[in-house]
Amino acid sequence: MSKLPVSVGMKNIDKPGVSRLREPAAARALAPLANTMKANALVQRQAARLLHNSVLSAGLAGRLSDPQVWSEWGQLQAAVMQRLHQQNLAWRDGCAILAEDFALIRHANTISKMAEKQGNFFSQWTTLLTNQATSLFELMENIHVDYGYWASQKVPRDS
């Protein structure tokens, strides 16, 4: 069965008086602008993180001869590669499942079932792509935060 929209309602657990549907019309009209501004703010925040991490990296130059720093740097690299490997496995598993689903569409024996199966296939395909993109962004944020935290502990306090 399709998950949209019959079985999916509006946010019934939202608190009364604050749900998006009850927002003033003016606020709804400004939503596209607000969303764009928020996206810009988030990108700027990541840019600021990168800048901050670059400064920390420069501060690490004083510890280039410290084998512990190199060891932990290597562990960070390996952890990122491991996460990418897991994501690749999830992508391949997802594609394999979708290929099976696609092959089963031909068993539909009415036009409505055919339409439903095709719709389900494209929904699942979109979900897989969304999950992959979300995971990549999560990993990017994870790297930025963890590297910054790690480097801030390694950089000498007087630098």
Partner 1 sequence: MIASSSSKVVQLGSYKASRRNNSISGLSSGAFMTVQLHLAHSASFAGAGIIAGGPFRCAEIFQPDEMMTAEDACIENSLYICMNPLIPQVSPDAQKLAAMAQETARAGKIDAVANLADDRLYIFTGSADDVVDSDVVARTRKFYELLGVKPDNIRYVDSVPAGHSIITDNPEDSALSTNQPPYINNGGFMQSHDILQHIYSDLQPAAQSLAGQLLRFDQTEFFADARDRASMSQFGYIYIPSNVAAGRVKEPRVHIALHGCKQGYNYTDYVNGRADIANQPPYGNRYFTTTGYNHIAESNDIIVLYPQAEGTDNDTVQNPDGCWDWWGYTSANPQAPDYYSREAVQIKAIHAMLDRLCA
Q: Could you say whether residue 149 binds partner 1 (CB under 8 A)?
A: yes
> Given candidates 76, 90, 98, 105, which one binds partner 1 under the rule CB under 8 A?
76
- Closest to partner 1 by CB, 90 vs 108, is 90
Q: Could you say whether residue 129 binds partner 1 (CB under 8 A)?
A: no
Alpha helix stretches (DSSP H) within the chain: 25-29, 31-60, 67-104, 111-154
Q: Which residue, 27, 51, 20, is CA-closest to 144?
A: 51
Q: Could you say whether residue 85 binds partner 1 (CB under 8 A)?
A: no
Q: Could you say whether residue 13 binds partner 1 (CB under 8 A)?
A: yes
Q: Which residue, 144, 58, 128, 52, is CA-closest to 93?
A: 128
> Given candidates 100, 153, 156, 157, which one binds partner 1 under the rule CB under 8 A?
153
- Piece of 32-40, 48-56, 89-97, 111-119 that binds partner 1 (CB under 8 A): 48-56
| Contact in structure between 19 and 10 (CB atoms under 8 Å) | yes
Q: Could you say whether residue 40 binds partner 1 (CB under 8 A)?
A: no
In the complex, the residues that contact partner 1 under the rule CB under 8 A are 3-4, 6-15, 18-20, 45, 48-49, 52, 72, 75-76, 79-80, 83, 138, 141-143, 145-146, 148-150, 152-153
